[in-house]
Chain A
C-alpha cells in the first residue's frame, strides 16, 4: 500500500515538474507591468558591443502555428 502511494506521488511530481519546465506552471497573481525573463543560452551576454555603436534590434518568432496560448 505504501509503495503504491509513493509511486502515485512520484508520478504526480514528474507531471507537475514537466509542466513547470515548459513554463506552464500555476500562474502568479496577474500584473500589468512588463517584466523581463532571464535569457537562456550561453552566447547572448558574452558579446560586448563597441561603446556608442548604434544597435538594431530584431525581435522574432517562427512556427507559432496560430498558437494562442501554449499553456492553455
Chain B
C-alpha cells in the first residue's frame, strides 16, 4: 500500500497539470487482517491519502454489511459507487450510481457496477438486492453520457460481462474492471473500448493513458501494469498510517477505529 502511494506520487509528478483520475474497481476496503478488523477504516484513510477519486462496491466491501459500508463511504473523500445495488424497500441505491468528475476541463462520467453475488456475505443482505447489469446500464447510461466527455464503467462484475456490456453500449468508452483478479497482460478491446483488470492484493498498479481530441473524446489509449516490487520505497505518510493502525490493533485496550485514528 505504501509502495502504491509512492508509485502514484511518481505518476503525478510525471504528468504535471494533465488530468489524472485514481480509481478502484471494487473489493478494496475489507478482506485481510488489520483492514478487516478495523472495519475498512485503515484502507479508507490510506485511499484518501493516495487521492483516490472513486471506487466500485464489490462483495468483499459488503462483508460487514451495506449499512457499515455506507458509514465508511460517508467518511471517505472519494465516491463509493454502485448503480445496481438497491434497497428492497425503496428501490433506491444506498450508494451513488455514478459521479461526474471534471478535471483539467475534461468531464469524466464514472458509473459503478456490483457483481450479482455481492450480498452473499452481507449480514443485512435481506434488505437489499443486486439488479441485472444490462437493465441497470440501460437506465443510467444516457444520463451519464449526456453530462460527460467520456464514460468510464467502474465494474466489479467480471471480465466476461464487462465484454458483453462494452459490446452492447457504445457510450462506454473505458472499462476499469475487477472480480476475476486476473492480471491482463494487455487490454481487452471490444468495439474499440479498452477493458483492463489487474491481479489481486494490490501487487500492481494500472496506468491507462487516453489521448483526447479537441472535443475531449478518446482517440487512442495505452496501458501499463506497474508491478509494485521492492524498487518502490514506502511512502512515509502511508507507512506511518499503517504502523499506527497496526499498533492500535495489537493493543488490548484500543481496538476501535476512533482510537486508532487518534
Give me the interface of A with B, judged by CB distance under 8 Å: 22-28, 30-50, 53-71
Contact = CB atoms under 8 A, between A and B. Distances in A.
Question: Which bucket holds chain B's interface residue count?
Answer: 35 or more
B178 A62 contact: yes
Contact of A66 (B18, B40, B156): B40
Contacts of A26: 230
Contact of B209 (A57, A67, A70): A57
Interface of B: 1-2, 4, 6-11, 13-15, 18-36, 40, 42-43, 58, 60, 103-104, 106, 108, 150, 152, 156, 174, 176-179, 181, 184-187, 196-213, 216, 218-234, 236, 242
Nearest to B105: A54
26 contacts: A23-B230, A37-B227, A39-B224, A39-B225, A40-B227, A41-B185, A41-B223, A43-B186, A54-B216, A55-B211, A56-B21, A57-B11, A57-B15, A59-B23, A60-B208, A61-B198, A62-B27, A62-B198, A63-B199, A64-B1, A64-B24, A64-B43, A65-B32, A66-B29, A67-B201, A68-B1
B238 to A, nearest CB: 9
A66 B21 contact: no
Contacts of A55: 15, 18-19, 209-212
A48 B32 CA distance: 40
